Amino acid sequence: MKIKIILLSLIFALTSFLSADDHIELAAMEGLQCNFSEGKDMDDVMRVISQWNEFGDENFGAPYNAWIFTPVYRSNSDYDFDFMFLGFTNTFKEMGRVQDDFQNGASKIAARWNSVTECAGQSMNLNVEVRTPKNPWEADGIGYASISSCSFKEGKSMSDLEGNSKTWNKYLDNSGFEGGIWRWWPETGSPTSLTLDYWMVASFDSVEQYGQSRDARFAAMMADTRPEEIHNCDTPRLYKSTNIRLDQPES
């Protein structure tokens, strides 16, 4: 019930936000957290993905972009999986269309996927872009992404998102940060035990760039120049992101 209330409030808040600032963009995202089946590795997974891509080229009725996330800095005691599969469409309707296309014609590919992976469920989420990365996406491109689980601070709510995002974008502009920022809001298929409000995601071109951002964070904290946070977030995890499908550049 909490997730449903949050999602409805988010949609109303962002509708207002969009009318004032067309930078914010909404999209649908689906995610799988997977381990390799015994004796299998990423080479086996990528062979199935190659077959899936060929099927998608001929059969997907909507643009679908996808990435594989593999851990760089992460505690296995908290998040014990080998990789994440993340797919994006412009709307939930388009996500449903792609799922229908796959379910109706790719049973052999699905069987091959299940033979090389063991995935812990599948969820659909609302992807909200609050800062566009400077560099465009590239097919087969490699980057890095930090992910933190976040909840609103006491007294903060959806109504604080607009002003806070504008303040932080200005701060990040001045600091030279070139990556993107997204909030992933849990939706269909998400665990009912979730207590977070959203995941905060930031992109980087390299691990060095990520380290530079942490240096800048700590320097600003010492100088007390960081803008106010409206959320409490846990320690970030850093993943290597590899593009595996790019129908169209995400704007």
- Give the pLDDT confidence score for residue 24 in this predicted structure: 61
Domain 2-245 sits in CATH at: 3.30.70.100
Predicted local confidence at residue 250, as pLDDT: 45
Strands 142-152 and 83-89: unpaired
Residues 193 and 205: their CA atoms lie apart, in Å, by 33
DSSP category for residue 160: G
Q: In the predicted model, is pLDDT for residue 248 greater than 50?
A: yes
Whether residue 14 has pLDDT greater than 60: no
Element (H, E) at 213: helix 207-223
Of 88, 79, 36, which is closest to residue 60 (Cα–Cα)? 88
> Mean pLDDT over all residues of the chain?
90
Cα(129)–Cα(53) distance, integer angstroms: 25
The residues, any chain, with a CB within 8 Å of residue 167's CB and separated by 6 or more, are 227, 228
Quick: pLDDT tens for 50-104: 999 999 999 999 999 999 999 999 998 888 899 999 999 999 999 999 999 999 9
Give the predicted TM-score (pTM) of the model: 0.88
pLDDT > 50? residue 221:
yes
Single-letter code of the amino acid located at 18: L
Q: What angle do CA 91, 184, 83 make, to 5 degrees?
A: 100
Distances (CA, A) of 36 to 52, 163, 241: 17, 43, 17
Integer CA distances (angstroms), 177 to 171, 201, 203, 214, in order: 9, 14, 10, 11
**Terminal Cα-to-Cα distance of the chain (whole angstroms):** 32
Asked whether residue 10 carries a pLDDT value surpassing 70, the answer given is no
Structural domain boundaries of the chain? Answer: 2-245
